[in-house]
């Protein structure tokens, strides 16, 4: 299924979300951000999906935020319609119930790296470059580059990219823990799907809960993750069944504290 500039394909238990704006190296604009949100909802709501892969069509994963999409915005619009909107979409992807694997088939710069950063696993092709060049434009990384990426990659690595403007090769990025594996050019999607099959073989409930618990431990998603874990636990209790039954039957509930 195609949602504007993002294509979603499901094969068995694996969903592939493909950024589809190849003529712009999949640079992100407001339409693509909205399409990513719709794609995330589609993946989330498909009970058969256990793993998702995110990649880009053509030569690029994502060249980041499309400068033409935001350069002319007034400061207030830039802060709300661009930065905060992007944050919401990236958070949506980072908190998918299923693991997300980024197949970096091309450069991941600026917002493109921030997008790759929402994934649980990143597999990069050997020719790509990775960095946060925003300060060279008088801008800062605005889609969690100084927040989520610090938690996931470490503050010093982010300093080198954001303050020093360093651009890393795939091998350098792997050595720094920014990506998890490097493969030959053209092989990232296949490698991502191979790793996705590895995840599919594991217990889906255990994988989902483990992802939530890791988010709690890393300090990324304490409130949402704790409530989700608690809700899953309570939803399996006899007390919940009794509570719903008593409500529909209009009688006092007879809770037993049964798990």
Between CA 64 and CA 139 the distance in angstroms is 13
14, 44, 136 from 48: Cα distances, Å: 8, 10, 44
Helix (H, G, I), strand (E, B) or coil at 29: coil
- Measured distance CA(118)–CA(131) in Å, rounded: 15
Catalytic residue among 114, 125, 208, 220: 114
In the set 42, 57, 125, 134, the catalytic residue is 134
Domain ranges of the chain: 2-200, 204-249
Question: Are 55 and 19 in contact, with CB atoms under 8 Å apart?
Answer: yes
Residue 114 annotated to the active site = yes
Q: Any idea which fold 2-200 has?
A: 2-enoyl-CoA Hydratase; Chain A, domain 1 (3.90.226)
Does residue 47 contact residue 32 with C-beta atoms inside 8 Å? no
- Give pLDDT tens digits along the chain (259 positions): 555 689 999 999 999 999 999 998 898 888 888 899 999 999 999 999 999 999 999 998 998 776 666 566 666 666 666 677 788 889 999 999 999 999 999 999 999 999 999 999 999 999 999 999 989 988 888 888 899 999 999 999 999 999 999 999 999 999 999 999 999 999 999 999 999 999 999 999 999 999 988 988 888 766 666 777 777 777 777 877 877 788 788 889 887 876 6
pTM score over 0.85: yes
Spatial contact of 152 and 113, defined as CB atoms under 8 Å apart: no
């Amino acid at each position: 299924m195609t949602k504007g500039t993002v294509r979603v394909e499901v094969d068995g238990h694996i969903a592939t979300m493909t950024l589809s704006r190849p003529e712009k190296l999949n640079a992100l604009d407001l339409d693509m951000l909205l399409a990513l949100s719709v794609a995330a909802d589609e993946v989330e709501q498909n009970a058969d999906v256990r793993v998702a892969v995110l990649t880009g069509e053509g030569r690029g994963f994502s060249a980041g935020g499309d400068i033409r999409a935001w350069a002319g915005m007034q400061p207030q619009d830039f802060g709300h319609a661009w930065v905060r909107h992007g944050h919401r979409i990236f958070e949506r992807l980072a908190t998918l119930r299923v693991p997300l694997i980024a197949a970096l088939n091309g450069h991941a710069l600026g917002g493109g790296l921030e997008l790759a950063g929402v994934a649980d696993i990143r597999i990069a092709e050997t020719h790509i470059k990775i960095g946060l060049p925003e300060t060279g434009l008088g801008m800062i990384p605005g889609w969690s580059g100084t927040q989520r990426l610090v938690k996931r990659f470490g503050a010093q690595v982010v300093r080198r990219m954001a303050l020093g403007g360093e651009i890393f090769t795939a091998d350098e990025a792997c050595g720094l823990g920014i990506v998890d594996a490097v493969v030959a050019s053209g092989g990232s999607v296949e490698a991502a799907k191979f790793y996705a099959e590895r995840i599919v073989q594991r217990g889906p409930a255990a994988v989902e809960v483990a992802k939530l618990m890791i988010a709690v431990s890393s300090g990324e998603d304490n409130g949402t993750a704790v409530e989700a874990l608690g809700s899953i636990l309570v939803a399996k209790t006899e007390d919940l069944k009794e509570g719903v039954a008593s409500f529909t039957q209009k009688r006092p509930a007879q809770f037993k504290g049964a798990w």
